[in-house]
Amino acid sequence: MTYSRIAGTGSYLPEKVVTNQDLEKMMDTSDEWIRERTGICRRHTAAEDETCSDMALAAAGQAIEMAGIEVTDIDLIIVGTVTPDKIFPSTACILQRRLGIRGCPAMDIQAACSGFIYALDLARRQIETGGATTALVIGSEILSRLTNWEDRSTAVLFGDGAGAVILQASDEPGIISTHIHSDGEFEDLLEVPWGISSNYEAVRAGEAYIQMQGNAVFRKAVGTLGSMAQETLDGNNVDKHDLDWLVPHQANLRIIAAAAKKVDLPMDRVVVTVDEHANTSSASIPLALDTAVRDGRIQRGQLLLFEAFGAGFTWGSALVRF
Ligand code: UT7
């Protein structure tokens, strides 16, 4: 049996930092409200000429270096994003060209904040069934372009960034299991309500922004993350006390704390980056993972649980022996 393992991680954050104090000057909000309700202190925002593939390329470079592979070893590229460079071709194809490789499949996946887990699920199944040996799996987002800076209920929540992993074929399971789900019933609770085939005029006028009924999303996220953790642990006969780290999607510190409680992990075994990065959608889990790998918290051989929840709704998890 062929398994897959994470051979390297990487990430990228744009240079510009926007603090809560900066936002206080732009809208009717306060550092206190943002920190108390979300845990966010600051976020990075992309430069005007920076693109999703620019950030993906930087994160990919780090992951490739850590994995110790040649770029030409990569035989599958999947990018999770809701903010692609172009409508088409995919950001993955643009990235492939920029990496200087040709021929291997490259695709984007759109599963909102669960995009990285969806991409990981696809990549590990490709590797396990012989379709690939070395996959580049990325989450990259420029959410500042989808933010209505006059809407305080959403503008304070999001940030830009990218995270990447190199997933390689292995004799032993690194990725033990992945679990992905969706339920389109809740489309209206979290959305950018227009696109190419519906009210494109609004998109062209620059009015297509993130809209969210925060409180309803909050409640759904907490409930779903709890049952997803149970599904993941039960499916693998793993006791929650065997987990070393929870690496959750970084939307809100209160949601993260509730998820940690469900698996009985103290907060010092939870990777938290929402304070520094805010919500970077599909980039948030690989960004958090890379942060904790590079600062030495996450060590080889440890058992990790990834959990994501986002628009759709979509949700997903991965149990990983790092
Ligand atoms: O990544 C995908 C998943 N996304 C999420 O998981 C996000 C889930 N939702 C949340 O994180 C939280 O619901 C929020 C952080 C978005 C909001 O927190 P909340 O505790 O649910 O607050 P609320 O929406 O119920 O609003 C409470 C009050 C309202 O005022 P009133 O009506 O009580 O007078 C809002 O108008 O806070 C007000 N408010 C703000 N005040 C200052 C909303 N946004 C702000 C703001 N600054 N930025």
Q: Note the pLDDT tens digit of each residue in 170-219.
A: 999 999 999 999 999 999 999 999 999 999 999 999 899 999 999 999 99
Nearest ligand 1 atom, CA 152 = 48
Which pLDDT score, from 0 to 100, does residue 99 have? 98
> How far is residue 199's CA from residue 208's CA, in Å, rounded to a whole number?
9
pLDDT at 88: 98
Candidate from 24, 37, 187, 280 with most ligand 1 atoms within 8 A of CB, to mutate? 37
Homologous superfamily of the 3-171 domain (CATH): Thiolase/Chalcone synthase (3.40.47.10)
Question: Apex CA 272: angle with CA 268 and CA 273, to 5°?
Answer: 150
Predicted confidence at residue 75, as pLDDT, reads 98
Say which CATH architecture domain 177-321 belongs to.
Answer: 3-Layer(aba) Sandwich (3.40)
Atom of ligand 1 at shortest range from CA of 38: 15
Q: Find the 161 Cα to ligand 1 centroid distance in Å.
A: 23
What is the distance in A from the centroid of ligand 1 to the CA of 274?
16
181 as an active site residue: the answer is: no
pLDDT at 66: 98
Catalytic site residue 249?
A: yes
Rounded CA-CA distance 259/240 in Å is: 12
For residue 2, give both structure tokens: 């062929």
pLDDT at position 208, please?
Answer: 95
Q: Are the beta carbons of 184 and 305 closer than 8 angstroms? A: no
Ligand 1 pocket (Cβ < 6 Å) reads: 29, 33, 37-38, 113, 152-153, 156-157, 214-215, 217-218, 221, 251-252, 255, 279, 309-310
Beta bridge partners of 8: 166
Output the CA 214–ligand 1 centroid distance in Å: 6
Question: Which part of the chain has CATH 3.40.47.10?
Answer: 3-171, 177-321
Write down the pLDDT at residue 155: 98
* Cα 220 to ligand 1 centre (Å): 14
Q: Please provide the distance, in angstroms rounded to a whole number, between the alpha carbons at the two ends of the chain.
A: 18
Residues of the chain under the 50 pLDDT cut: none
Burial label for 131, CB within 10 Å (0-12, 13-18, 19+), is middle
